């Protein structure tokens, strides 16, 4: 089965610019997650969707970050405007459902560098 797809793989932008990342989860997976992974750290959850509804966005910096999953399949994560500290890898993951024992399947990530 195809895995989680993400694009672009790499992005370099100037601070205060905007950037968007795209994720296509595994077919049939209802739950989609966006994580931020800063170099040398573990991933940190930004937002979790169940179908097209937000389940958890408590750690999303809402003044500059936004995400949507309009049709319950693909998702986009946007940063506007970007700051230097947003340099990180943005990982998308999906799971069949949102139970406590669900395995999350991760995409390869988008590596963002903000100059």
Point out which residues bind another protein (CB under 8 A).
4, 31, 40-45, 48, 55-56, 91, 93, 98-109, 111
Going 88 to 60 to 25 to 103, the CA torsion angle's sign is positive
Minimum distance between the CB of residue 67 and another protein, rounded to whole angstroms? Answer: 16
Whole-angstrom distance, CA of residue 69 vs CA of residue 106 = 17
- What span, in angstroms and rounded, lies between the C-alpha atoms of 50 and 14? 33
* In the block, residue with structure tokens 């992974």: 37
CB of 48 to another protein, least distance (A): 7
Q: Report the DSSP pairing between strands 110-114 and 10-13.
A: parallel
Distance of closest approach, residue 90 Cβ to another protein, in angstroms = 11
Nearer to another protein, 66 or 98 (CB): 98
Residue number, 82 or 109, with CB nearest to another protein: 109
């Amino acid at each position: 089965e195809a895995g989680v797809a993400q694009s672009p793989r790499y992005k370099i932008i100037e601070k205060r610019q905007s950037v968007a990342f795209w994720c296509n989860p595994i077919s049939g997976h209802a739950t989609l997650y966006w994580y931020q992974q800063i170099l040398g750290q573990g991933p940190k959850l930004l937002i979790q969707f169940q179908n097209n509804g937000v389940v958890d966005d408590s750690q999303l910096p809402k003044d500059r970050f936004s995400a949507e999953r309009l049709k319950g399949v693909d998702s986009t994560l946007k940063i506007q405007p970007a700051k230097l500290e947003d340099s990180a890898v943005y990982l998308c993951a999906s799971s069949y459902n949102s139970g406590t024992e669900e395995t999350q399947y991760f995409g390869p990530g988008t590596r963002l560098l903000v100059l």
